Amino acid sequence: MNLLKILDNLSNEDLLNTKSSRRGSISQFTNTSKNIALASIPFALAATSSKAKAATASMSAAAFQATPTEVLNFALTLEYLERNFYQIAMDTDGLIPEADRAVFGQILKHETSHVNFFAAALGENAIEEPTFDFTGAPGGLALDTFENYETFMALSQGFEDTGVRAFKGQAGALANDNDLLTFALQVHSVEARHASQVRRMRGQKGWVTGGTAMSNGIPSAFDAVYAGEANTVQGGVELAGLFGEFGGPQAVQEAFDEPLTMGEVLAIGGIFIVSEDSDN
C-alpha cells in the first residue's frame, strides 16, 4: 500500500464512518505497512476521531480569545527579546568564538527581520520594546550570560525552543487572516531551524527530548521551557506502548512538539523583562 492509496482510503466516506477504535485503525495501518503507517498516523487520527475534531475545535475557540493584534504583540515581544539577546552577544568582545559568529550573526539578521515585520504589521498598535536583563535578575537568577559562552548557548537554546512552542500555541488565533497566519508559520519554522542548530552546536539532539530542562541539557531553573513535552498522548491515543521497536515512549515524545499558552510563554520571558510600556 502506498501513500496515495492511504490518502484515498482516508477520503472514503464509508471508511471514515466505520465505528472502529482509533487503536484499531492504527493497528490496521501497522499490519499493512509499518513504515507507511507511521507516516500516516496524523492523517488517520484527524480523519477518524470525532473526539480529536472536538478537541481541535475547542483549542481553536480558546485561541480566538486573543485578538490578532494581541498575538502579534506577543510575537513582537519574543522577537524583541531574541534580537536584543543576539545583538548584545555579537557586540560583546570575546564571547562568541570566531567559528560560531557567522551562525549567530545570521540568526540576529533573522530576528531583526521578524521584529521589523511584526512592528510594520502592527503599526501604531505595536508595543514599545521592553527593557531586558539577560542575567535573569527580574526572575531571581544571577546568570553570567555574556561572560560565559556556555551560559549564553544554553540560554539561546531555551529561547529558541520556547519560540517554537509559542508560535505553535497561538497560530489558531490568526486562522481568519491567511496572510498573517502564513507569515507566522514561516517564522515558526525558522525558529525551529534556529533551535535545532543551537542544540546541535551544544551537543544535544536537534529535537526536544523529555519534559525537563535537564533532559535537554540546560539548568533545571528553565523547566518551564519544556513543561508538557513528555506527553505521549496524541489525538486522544496513548502512543507510548504502540511502537516499542521504533524507540518507545522517548521516541514518541520527540516526534511531537507541544504548544505553550501565551501565559506560559510570558512567564518564561518575564524572567528577563525589567519593564515594559505600561500603556500596552
pLDDT tens, residue order, the chain (280 aa): 333 332 333 334 443 344 344 444 334 433 433 333 333 333 333 333 333 333 333 344 444 457 888 999 999 999 999 999 999 999 999 999 999 999 999 999 999 999 999 999 999 999 999 999 999 999 999 999 999 999 999 999 999 999 999 988 888 787 888 888 888 888 899 999 999 999 999 999 999 999 999 999 999 989 999 999 999 998 888 888 777 777 788 888 888 889 999 899 989 999 999 965 444 4
Count other Cβ atoms within 10 Å, centred on residue 275.
11
Q: Which residues are within 8 A (CB) of 91 and not within 5 positions of it... i.e. 6 or more apart?
A: none
The grid cell for 214 is 535537564
Q: CB of 234 within 8 A of CB of 256? A: yes
Nearest 5 degrees, angle CA 164-CA 75-CA 57? 70
What pLDDT sits at residue 245?
74
Look up the pTM and report it: 0.73
Q: What pLDDT does 59 receive?
A: 42
- Burial class of residue 262 (count of CB atoms within 10 Å of its CB; 0-12, 13-18, 19+): middle
Question: What DSSP string runs through 164-205?
Answer: HHHHHHHGGGGTT-HHHHHHHHHHHHHHHHHHHHHHHHTT--
Cell numbers linked to 17: 464512518
Cβ-Cβ contacts under 8 Å for 260 (sequence gap 6 or more): 162, 165, 166, 168, 169, 227, 228, 268
State the chain's maximal CA–CA distance in angstroms. 66
DSSP 246: G
- Domains located in the chain, CATH noted: 3-48 (no CATH), 65-275 (1.20.1260.10)
Distance CA 189, CA 193 (A): 6
Position 114 scores a pLDDT of 95
Contact indicator for 202, 196 with CB cutoff of 8 Å:
no
